[in-house]
Amino acid sequence: MIEVDDVYFSYDNYSVLNGISFKVKMGEVLAIVGPNGSGKTTLLKHLNGILKPTMGSVKVFDIDTRATKISELSRRVGLVMQNSDHQLFARSVSDEINFALKNFRFSKSEIDARTRKVLNEFGLYDLKDRPPLSLSGGEKKRLCIAAVMAWEPEIVMLDEPTVGQDAVNKKNLKEIIGQLSKNGRTVIISTHDLEFLWSINPRTIIIYHGKVLMDGSLRSISLNYDTLASANLIAPQLASLASGIGLSEPPADEAQAVEMIKQWQKA
Ligand SMILES: Nc1ncnc2c1ncn2[C@@H]1O[C@H](COP(=O)(O)OP(=O)(O)O)[C@@H](O)[C@H]1O
Ligand SMILES: [Mg+2]
């Protein structure tokens, strides 16, 4: 369980989080959405203890982040950074994956087994000797996620995973998120890409000016156009379509949209 309770945070004198509160259950997929500069990354960094609240409290697994070492929490709360180039540093794809495992003092045989496992799972085996920075954008993102998954944190946070990713990479990302969720991980995704979230339909928190503006399923909050617009977010296309033709329930995907439009034409 994650409990963010009335958290305030400022960089020097610049306040970013202004009394933000919410809870996350274990096993939940949560999207944190908001425009650029709304404090998403700052908030994620509070959940693994890199940043501590100026006021209020953050508890993860019942541990107050102010009362624990960063190393302890980061073992259980993995963060995949927005910019892969900021995360990657090792000489090879394999080394990138086993670096954290060595740090967390896994045994040699465990390190080898886990490295091999994620290389295979994330389709990186053939790239294992390549320098990480020579990979494509999508491969880099997969490697960043694989490197975090290797130590199996209970909570996986993906900071703006879709930025710079093409349609195929986004589809792969969705599959990875689905798989993580199926395996019981708690997944937290920060993004302003509501379109990407549509088929996942996670619980979604809109943050704006450092506070929670709305909290609900992605599809239900997507119907609140005025709120989305006031938070500088673009409504997903299927939500606009549903409202344009007066459907109370937005379609889950394009195929369902086509069916609904056919029904609507007949009526
Ligand atoms: N290290 C920092 N020092 C000062 N200001 C920062 C720092 N990091 C972020 N900010 C500012 O805090 C605000 C929120 O940033 P951030 O959490 O990165 O937002 P988001 O991830 O939603 O784009 C922005 O206005 C940003 O310029
Ligand atoms: Mg950010």
Rounded to an integer, what distance in angstroms lies between the CA atom of residue 197 and that of residue 76? 25
Residue spans per domain, the chain:
2-234, 236-267
Nearest CA residue ID for atom 10, ligand 1: 11
Ligand 1 center from residue 183 Cα (angstroms): 32
The pLDDT of residue 257: 86
Show the CA angle centred on residue 182, arms to residues 176 and 187, nearest 5°. 60
In Å, how far are 10, 188, 197, 229, 236 from 201, measured between CA atoms? 31, 13, 6, 19, 11
Fold designation for 2-234 = Rossmann fold (3.40.50)
| Residue 5, beta-bridge partner list | 57
Ligand 2 center from residue 152 Cα (angstroms): 23
Average pLDDT for runs of 10 along the chain of length 267? 97 95 97 94 95 96 90 90 93 96 94 96 94 94 94 95 89 92 95 93 95 94 87 88 80 86 81
In Å, how far are 80, 98, 110 from 92, measured between CA atoms? 18, 10, 19
Determine the 3-state secondary structure of 101 from DSSP.
helix
Q: Is the dihedral of CA 48, 29, 197, 149 positive or negative?
A: positive
Tell me, using a 6 A CB cutoff, whether residue 81 lines ligand 1.
no
Tell me, using a 6 A CB cutoff, whether residue 191 lines ligand 1.
no
Element (H, E) at 263: helix 254-266
Tell me, using a 6 A CB cutoff, whether residue 232 lines ligand 1.
no
Nearest CA residue ID for atom 16, ligand 1: 39
Tell me, using a 6 A CB cutoff, whether residue 38 lines ligand 1.
yes
Rounded to an integer, what distance in angstroms lies between the CA atom of residue 267 and that of residue 100? 59
Tell me, using a 6 A CB cutoff, whether residue 40 lines ligand 1.
yes
Number of the ligand 1 atom closest to the C-alpha atom of 35? 22
The pLDDT of residue 244: 82
Q: Give the global pTM.
A: 0.93
The pLDDT of residue 164: 85
Ligand 2 center from residue 164 Cα (angstroms): 14
Rounded to an integer, what distance in angstroms lies between the CA atom of residue 190 and that of residue 62? 23
The pLDDT of residue 68: 86
The pLDDT of residue 261: 82
Ligand 2 center from residue 153 Cα (angstroms): 21
The pLDDT of residue 217: 94
